[in-house]
Amino acid sequence: MQVETSDITPAMQVLKLATASWMASAVSAAAELGVADHLGSGARTVRELAEAVGAHEQTLYRLLRACADAGLFQESPGRTFALTEVGDALRSDSPHSLRNFARWVALPADRHTWDGLAKTVRTGQPAFVDVHGVEVWEHFRDNPEVAEIFDNAMSELSRQVIAPTVAAYDFSGFRRIVDVGGGHGTLLAQVLTAVPTARGVLFDQPEVIEGAGAPLEGAGVRDRAELVAGDFFQAVPADGDAYVLSNIIHDWDDEPSRQILTNIRNVMAPDARVLLIEAVLPDDTSPSLTVKLMDLDMLVISGGHQRSGAQFDALFQKVGLKLSRIVSGGLCSVVEATRA
């Protein structure tokens, strides 16, 4: 909610924070309707947009003017709207697109789960099962249309958030890179593009691997990548000299995380590296609001959490690994571990 004053009282500040979900819903609605796609070629009137997206004209105007005040669109006289640089990231074909991520956070699988946050804080148990009746991964299996939006959202996030991390870390010394839980292959495609001498293994659940590989094809590296289906709680492909897990460990509490890392420790080459790409919490009280909100999202969805460097170090020590360094790449970092 936009407050038109620089002197915000405590009550108005709380009001602004408490109504942040209203703005989030507006952004998600604009993403679901595909408004930005229809503004990609230039400004259009609300009437033209309403016809294009199949919306009620006056109601669409009310949505767009709120989004304009948030910086997504620019409103001109005559109820005409154009994309801003920020709004361009809602276009499906934008290289900066987060449209599917904006759609994902509006789905009941994510948004309704947050309704259970207070109960989760009281009990320590994730809200997802209480709200939806099943665990999140079972929900995805039973609702493939939700899983598809989630997978596309994670691929988008990988392109925008993980790319700077890949650029920050030197992968050039690796010959066989195993992307554990790698989804459609967005991250592996970036890494193999950066390291022309390396080969890769994309490893994920059978239902994910079945629809994976397009990013590898698009990057022209499919011939250097092997797609393998399996369950990382049972085993992972052997003989990698780099095991990359991008935003995987944060899905799980310590016990299942140790199982995943133990399976990697059992088959990795002696001089191999485990590379966790994660948003790392500070070890002190430094502000880190985005990461701390991500931590709450993990809490209510799966019971997982973001970790600090010290927490990663403790986790590694339990499975015969040791933290060697943390390489910052923006929001996410590469948390590197070796055999202890």
Rounded to 5 degrees, what angle do the CA atoms 63, 66, 67 make? Answer: 85
Active site residue 305: no
Residue of 38, 132, 139, 250 with catalytic role: 250
Residue 331: CB atoms within 10 Å:
18
Rounded Cα distance, 212 and 300, in Å: 28
Phi-psi region of 303 (alpha: psi -120 to 50; beta: other; left: phi over 0): left
Contact of 99 with 35, CB cutoff 8 Å: no
Secondary structure (3-state) at 34: coil
Contact of 218 with 189, CB cutoff 8 Å: yes
Beta bridge partners of 226: 201
Contact of 168 with 328, CB cutoff 8 Å: yes
Range list of H helices, 86-220: 99-104, 117-123, 127-132, 136-142, 144-157, 163-168, 186-194, 206-209, 214-219
Neighbouring C-alpha atoms within 13 Å toward the C-beta of 105 = 20
Rounded to 5 degrees, what angle do the CA atoms 200, 204, 206 make? Answer: 125
Q: Which residues are catalytic?
A: 250
